[in-house]
Amino acid sequence: MLDKKNTAVLASALVMTMLSGCDDTSISKQSKQSELRSVHSTKCSLGFINDDGSMVTYADGGSVRLVGWAADSNTNTTPPQLNIVLTGPDGKSFVFEGAARNDRPDVVKAFNQDGFLKSGFSLNLDVTALQKATYSVSLQMPTADNLITCKTNKILILK
């Protein structure tokens, strides 16, 4: 039979267990993204993977650097957040967040859109946990209401 001390310890443990997930942003982030409206953009370019401008790039794993630009072709703006999405042959996608945005005056000039100034991006991906396979690369720009996706013509092969 439980005494008052053990009951208090169990009650505290139960409360701590229930509260332990309160700061877990990954769960709320996933559910938030699934609630966003899917929108496609046609204004993006993945210029380089590991300084290689080819359509197909081979990498040994470890770190892979991606550089390019992306904007929302529907609103002619540049959402501040950009993610890289690698999709494997099994359809499983891996999202890499935290691309640094930078100025691309050449893109502004090419499209005559001042809103494209911060369209540049670069991101180093840690792909050590990914299987050796062929991955398609797309760009994802979440906003308050939309999940804007822009497909690239680039293929990354991890060997």
For the chain, domain boundaries? 1-35, 37-158
Contact 116, 104 (CB under 8 A): yes
Contact 72, 148 (CB under 8 A): yes
- What is the rounded CA–CA span in Å between residue 16 and residue 32? 25
Contact 78, 116 (CB under 8 A): yes
- How confident is the prediction along the chain (159 residues), in pLDDT tens digits per residue? 545 443 433 333 333 323 333 333 333 344 455 688 999 999 999 999 999 999 999 999 899 999 999 999 999 999 999 999 999 999 999 999 999 999 999 999 999 999 999 999 999 999 999 999 999 999 999 999 999 999 999 999 999
- What is the rounded CA–CA span in Å between residue 144 and residue 79? 10
CATH of domain 37-158: 2.60.40.10
- What is the rounded CA–CA span in Å between residue 36 and residue 78? 17
pTM: 0.77
* Strand residues in the chain grouped as ranges (E): 37-40, 44-49, 56-59, 63-70, 83-87, 93-96, 100-102, 120-126, 134-142, 146-158
